[in-house]
Structure 1
Amino acid sequence: MASIDFEHIDKIYPGGNQAIFDYNLAVADGELVAFVGPSGCGKSTLLRLLAGLETVTRGTLRIGGQAVNTLPPQQRNLAMVFQDYALYPHMTVRRNLEFPLQMRDLPTAEIGRLTQWVADLLSLGDLLDRLPRQLSGGQRQRVAMGRALVRQPAIFLMDEPLSNLDARLRVQIRAEIGELLDRTGITTIYVTHDQAEAMTLGDRVAVMDRGRLQQVAPPQDLYERPVNVFVAGFIGNPPMNLFPAQLADTDSGLSLHLGEQRLSLLLPDALLTSWRAWLGDSLTAGIRPEHLHLADTDAAGLSATVVDAEYLGHETLLHTRIDGMTAPAPTLIARLTGIRPFAKGQSVRLALAADHLHLFGPDGRVRTNAAADLATRISP
């Protein structure tokens, strides 16, 4: 096993196009870190740099504490699982598994032992004599993982390995991958555009945008304490509701101004002093869909108009627009339990859980998360 260190990594292609900017990340021995972000953010480029398929422009890459910038790929003791499986179509499953061991000139007995070990581990015993074209997508993915695993690498690199599978099979194989990596304890970098995969599999999740690391944290921290507007709007399905707002002081405490509407914030004294420092600033407020609730028409809350409703059986996602805000008014999505019938254009009132409110400054960076800030202040 081995640790991985990205130290001030830059990648600049010929012509001056920079793909990675000052990337710093330490991955512990045995840890699984998921790289997630929109297409073109640089996550696969980082994987290729680590694998030695691309060269680092500036900075240092370390595996197990050793700098590997100039080390050829075959000497880095890592294995890569690709999006398209990359199996040899003319070879049986057995031959696909044996091939990387034969290239290392291992004894025949050792090749047979390792091939049988990985076949048992991944339940491939009945498939060993089949060709790749005779396998389902999930079976091909297991063979691709087996071919990487049979080498017993120090590091696993996975580049969107489930993207070619249908939704149901993706969930099944995702669970199998998680169980396999837990058992083997191999240090793993898992690249995906699917945040459900990242949040389910990763010990930590590294969120990227335009070649820069935005935040790296355990899944729960990432969801509950995003460090900027990008992470808040990217993580979560549906993502966090974000809308322009200002804080104002009133006789009864602080209120949040959203266009023509004012929402009183019932905050404990522990938060009032710090929040008053941002009075009048142009802020971005954020609230998760599950922290918006329907309120009575005469109760405190936000006046909004229904735009759409998604009926998902166990829940309803209610899409609304805040009344009285400059067009185009932001959409707020409320996650409601069960099936709740709504008509487009219907007026509703939404109550906001102030203890789950996030505030971001004009620079997009987090000012505060009410629940997290309060927990910090009252913790012993």
Structure 2
Amino acid sequence: MQTLEARILPGMQTPGRLYNFAAGPAVLPEPVLLEMKAELPLYKNVGASILEISHRSPEYTDVAERARAHLRRLLGLSDDWHILFLQGGASLQFHQVPLNFLPKDGTADYLVTGSWAKKALKEAQFLGNARVAASSEDRNFSYLPDPAVWDLDPAAAYLHFTSNNTIFGTQFATEPQVEVPLVCDASSDFLSRPIDIDRYGLIYAGAQKNVGPAGVTLVLVRDDFLQRRNRPLPTLLDYGTHTAKLFHTPPVYAVYVVEKVLRWLLDLGGLAAIAKINEAKAQQLYTRIDASDFYRGTAAPEARSKMNVTFRLPSEELEKRFVEEAKEAGLLALKGHRSVGGIRASIYNACPPEAVEALVDFMDHFERRHG
């Protein structure tokens, strides 16, 4: 009998590669990993690895431009949109967005629906009048506030929201319907479904959950929104610096991987196709959670995330055993975030349906033995 380390699991090509439910850095498409492996020592005909070439070389320029072209196709972006590959993660964007777009004598509205949204608000309040338009902190971020009770400023420079709550497992089903431009931290559900791009002024996303490896942050900014920015600004923190030219060394290898992931998405059929796959994975897992009292979902049903599925077991002792036995069964990184505990299965774009099927089977088996 083969050991787990030697077995090729359904949906996998590489022996010993297990089902990865990590919240980020997260699973990458296996075909992309294999392509990276093949190209690592020698990229095309340049005589060197992609890790070793200049960020101003024609070869890297081609990689970056292909990545931008893929994004334009996936999201239907017009030439009015700038696509930037920056560094510092979403956390730097928490500060850079209000630095650029929160006027000294104006306001910006924030929907506070999780820990990361709360951090974004804190950074903005260092710089000016950032308002809480709505919050779900009163119930530990387990739901999304009803738009009917939002306290919106019609003159706000923008409304900031976090589209998917990685820690608590909630997600906006659609864009907030407001009159001001939307600014979105889309780090954990970027490119997981179609969006109404015309509603946004700026979107940012750390790549390490759905789009690529850690080290690059994608920023999409519409030109008319860009022109509203405050001036003068610190050079490196001015979005205009990066839309004007390649100002400094980008994370070359991370962008190279992002290009491959975007091409993989296009080959699947684009955002409509991946949204259908993601919906099926989430529905299968939530159906299993709701099938008995042994598992209990932590997010309000109407706000459940299709990316990060969070649930509890009858005791913390059982949760610890669940995580340990799941790992032995080839299911990795199911422990909930340290701030909330419980179980979290991150089922991002590259998580294969076979992984969710295996998790559901394991949940059945675990409940039979411990329920």
Shorter-chain TM band: under 0.3
Greater strand fraction, Structure 1 or Structure 2: 1
- Structure with bigger RCO (C-alpha 8 Å, 6+ apart): 2
TM-score (norm 2): 0.26
Bigger Cα Rg: 1
- TM-score between both structures, scaled by the size of structure 1: 0.25
